[in-house]
């Protein structure tokens, strides 16, 4: 289909979408930066068919989720281009190559670009219930998509799967889709770097400082602090206070190494660490929770000594959340940021002394109800209500 014919076809589809009541997404976060990233990588025009890895990853996505159709979609400003499909008939594949973004299900992933989008029944979901009125979607009932988030932290599209029946998928299946999406992004960025390396000497190159800032699609973040620290400051001599904090923090550092956890920093009496980066281990939440429980045991051991010596008792409060973040490795420093980090901090501040307070996202990775006590809905400052748990 030539460019002029494709534009006319897209205009007709847009009009049909409006007529049946499909509402295009608006107020997309960081849309200009996102589109700059799409342009930087050249993915809207890139031909994926020459690389068998993309075919394998798309097929594996359907196997992982037990669905019939898998797609790699790139989202531009007003169009969606399908770069690889598995499970479509020839006519369906031809139609899916380019669609107006306004009538794509993937467009809704742009509103929460670092979270998977799962729609168990397209006919019942408020966002997509009118899609059944379009011929292209009339036989599709299920959608699951994981965003393709680049090292700069912007979503360029989705690795998504479709099914002809409504269904639910498990946390592990969603995790599998996320890992495959990361592999798709890795292939795209590796291809881009190879193209840069084989270009002319005066061709633009990646800034080395920028390459040290990287997006990670999954991790677990822990914040811990001592309850009543202000009172301890008033009661203890400065030397004793610093010495005791040093004992605790050095002990935490040793335990972090044992559990493959990375300390980010300490701020006053607050200890912050992360697991799951740079290697995206599946066990990052379990590692972090095991580390947190050992932290409490370590503090209990020190407190036994304090009781004998008639010193003040220190009470530790811990919060953990799992999710995506951006890490900065520049010039020997290490820091992380993102909404997941902020939520982890709120988990700590809304927790209780002597307990490990975790979010539902972290609980999903643990997968054992026996080890958790549900706390119910908790209001986190500036973040809304979250289902949270205490580790037994």
Residue 228, pLDDT > 60, answer: yes
Q: Is residue 204 part of a domain?
A: no
Predicted local distance difference test score (pLDDT) of residue 90? 85
Predicted local distance difference test score (pLDDT) of residue 227: 92
Q: Is 91 helix (H, G, I), strand (E, B) or coil?
A: helix
Compute the distance between CA of residue 207 and CA of residue 193 in angstroms, rounded to an integer.
12
Question: How many CA atoms, within 13 angstroms, populate the side-chain half-sphere of residue 66?
Answer: 9
* Cβ neighbours of 210 (radius 10 Å): 11
My answer on whether 276 and 149 are in the same domain is no
Give the domain extent around 247: 213-391
Do 134 and 100 meet the contact criterion of CB atoms below 8 Å apart? no
Where is pLDDT greater, at 356 or 136? 356
User: Is residue 208 a part of any domain in this protein?
Assistant: no
Question: Is residue 125 a part of any domain in this protein?
Answer: yes
157 and 229 assigned to the same domain? no
Average pLDDT over residues 226-236: 85
If one counts every other C-beta atom within 10 angstroms of the C-beta of residue 201, the result is: 5
Given a cut of 80, whether residue 203 has pLDDT beyond it is: no
Which residue would you say has higher pLDDT here, 331 or 142? 142
Q: Report the pLDDT value the prediction gives residue 332, as an integer from 0 to 100.
A: 64
pLDDT digits (tens, 9 = 90+) for 270-286: 999 999 988 777 789 99
Please state which of the ranges 6-10, 82-86, 96-100, 267-271 shows the lowest mean pLDDT: 6-10
User: Quick check: is 206 in a domain?
Assistant: no
pLDDT in tens, 15-71: 999 999 999 999 999 999 999 999 999 999 999 987 888 999 999 999 999 999 999
Q: Flag whether pLDDT at 206 surpasses 50.
A: no
Residues 193 and 217 in one domain: no
Same domain as 130, residue 262: no
- Given pLDDT bands bounded at 50, 70 and 90, which one contains residue 186? very high
Higher pLDDT, 194 or 123: 123
| Torsions phi, psi for 45 (to 5 deg) | -95, -15
Q: What is the pLDDT of residue 331?
A: 61
Report the CATH number that the domain containing residue 149 is assigned in CATH: 3.30.450.40
Residue 317 binned pLDDT confidence (cut-offs 50, 70, 90): very high
Model confidence at 352, pLDDT cuts 50, 70, 90, reads very high
Q: Is residue 355 part of a domain?
A: yes
Q: Which of 141, 144, 164 is nearest to 87 (CA)?
A: 164
Spatial contact of 73 and 101, defined as CB atoms under 8 Å apart: no
Per-residue pLDDT reduced to its tens digit, 101-113: 999 999 999 999 8
Q: Are residues 177 and 258 in the same domain?
A: no
**Looking at residue 208, what is its pLDDT?**
45
Question: Does residue 219 have a cis peptide bond before it, meaning omega lies within 30 degrees of 0?
Answer: no
Distance of CA 95 to the CA centre of its chain: 31
Show the tokens assigned to 174: 């969603």
Among 171, 197, 223, identify where a domain stops: 197
What's the CA gap between 162 and 121, in Å, rounded?
A: 11
Residue 103 · residue 75 · CB < 8 Å: no
Please say if the pLDDT value at position 141 is more than 50. yes
In a domain, 284, yes or no: yes
| CB neighbour burial string for 303-332, b if at least 16 within 10 angstroms, e if fewer | beeeeeeeebebbbbbbbbbbbbbbeeeee
**DSSP state, residue 117:** E
Distance of CA 2 to the CA centre of its chain: 38
| Claim to verify: residue 156 and residue 270 sit in the same structural domain | no
Q: Strands 356-359 and 315-322, how do they pair?
A: parallel
Is pLDDT at 204 greater than 90 in this prediction? no
Are 301 and 227 in a shared domain? yes
Which of 184-198, 272-286, 325-339 is predicted with the least confidence, judged by mean pLDDT? 325-339
What's residue 370's pLDDT?
77
pLDDT band at 211 (very low <50, low <70, confident <90, very high): very low
pLDDT at residue 144 is higher than 80: yes
User: Are both 140 and 260 inside the same structural domain?
Assistant: no
363-380 pLDDT tens trace:
999 877 778 999 989 988
Segment holding 162, helix H or strand E: strand 155-163
The rounded distance, in Å, linking the Cα atoms of 39 and 372 is 46
Q: Which of 197, 231, 253 is the last residue of a domain?
A: 197
Question: Any idea what the CATH number is for the domain that residue 250 is in?
Answer: 3.30.70.1230
pLDDT at res. 196: 78
Residues 233 and 312 in one domain: yes
Report whether pLDDT(348) > 90: yes
pTM attached to this predicted model: 0.82
Check residue 1 and give its pLDDT: 61
Mean pLDDT of 89-99: 88
Segment 122-131 shows an average pLDDT of 95
Instruction: For residue 237, tell me if it sits in a domain.
Output: yes
Length of the chain: 392
β-bridge mates for residue 359, sequence order: 388
3-state SS assignment for residue 318: strand
State whether 161 and 228 are in the same domain. Answer: no
149 and 12 in a common domain: yes
Is 203 contained in some domain? no
Q: How many domains does the chain have?
A: 2
Q: Mark whether 135 and 24 lie in a shared domain.
A: yes
């Amino acid at each position: 289909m030539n460019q002029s014919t494709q534009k006319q076809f897209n205009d007709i589809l847009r009009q049909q979408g409006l007529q049946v009541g499909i509402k295009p997404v608006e107020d997309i976060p960081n849309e200009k930066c996102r589109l700059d990233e799409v342009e930087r990588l050249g993915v809207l025009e890139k031909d994926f068919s020459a690389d068998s890895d993309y075919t394998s990853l798309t097929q594996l996505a359907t196997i992982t989720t037990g669905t019939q159709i898998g797609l790699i979609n790139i989202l531009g400003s007003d169009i969606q281009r399908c770069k690889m499909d598995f499970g479509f008939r020839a006519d369906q594949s031809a139609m899916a190559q380019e669609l107006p973004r306004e009538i794509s299900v993937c467009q809704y992933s742009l509103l929460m670009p670092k979270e998977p989008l799962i729609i168990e029944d397209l006919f019942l979901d408020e966002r997509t219930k009118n899609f059944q009125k379009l011929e292209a979607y009339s036989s599709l009932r299920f959608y699951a998509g994981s965003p393709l988030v680049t090292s700069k932290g912007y979503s360029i599209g989705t690795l998504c799967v479709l099914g002809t029946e409504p269904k639910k998928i498990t946390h592990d299946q969603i995790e599998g889709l996320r890992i495959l999406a990361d592999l798709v992004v890795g292939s795209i960025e590796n291809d881009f770097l190879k193209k840069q390396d084989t270009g002319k000497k005066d061709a633009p190159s990646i800034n080395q400082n920028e390459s040290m800032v990287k997006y990670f699609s999954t991790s677990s973040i822990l914040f811990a602090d001592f309850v009543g620290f202000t009172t301890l400051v008033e009661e203890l001599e400065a030397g004793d206070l610093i010495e005791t904090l040093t004992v605790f923090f050095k002990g935490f550092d040793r335990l972090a190494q044992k559990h493959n956890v990375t300390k980010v920093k300490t701020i006053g009496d607050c200890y912050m660490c992360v697991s799951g980066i740079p290697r995206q281990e599946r066990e990052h939440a379990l590692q972090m929770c095991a580390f947190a429980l050992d932290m409490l045991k370590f503090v209990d051991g020190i407190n036994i000594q304090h009781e004998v010596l008639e010193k003040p008792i220190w009470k530790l409060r811990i919060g953990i959340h799992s999710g995506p973040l951006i890490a900065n490795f520049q010039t020997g420093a290490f820091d992380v940021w993102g909404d997941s980090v902020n939520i982890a901090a709120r988990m700590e501040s809304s927790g209780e002394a002597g307990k490990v307070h975790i979010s539902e996202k972290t609980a999903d990775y643990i997968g054992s109800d026996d080890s958790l006590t549900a706390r119910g809905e908790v209001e986190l400052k500036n973040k809304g209500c979250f289902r949270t748990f205490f580790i037994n």
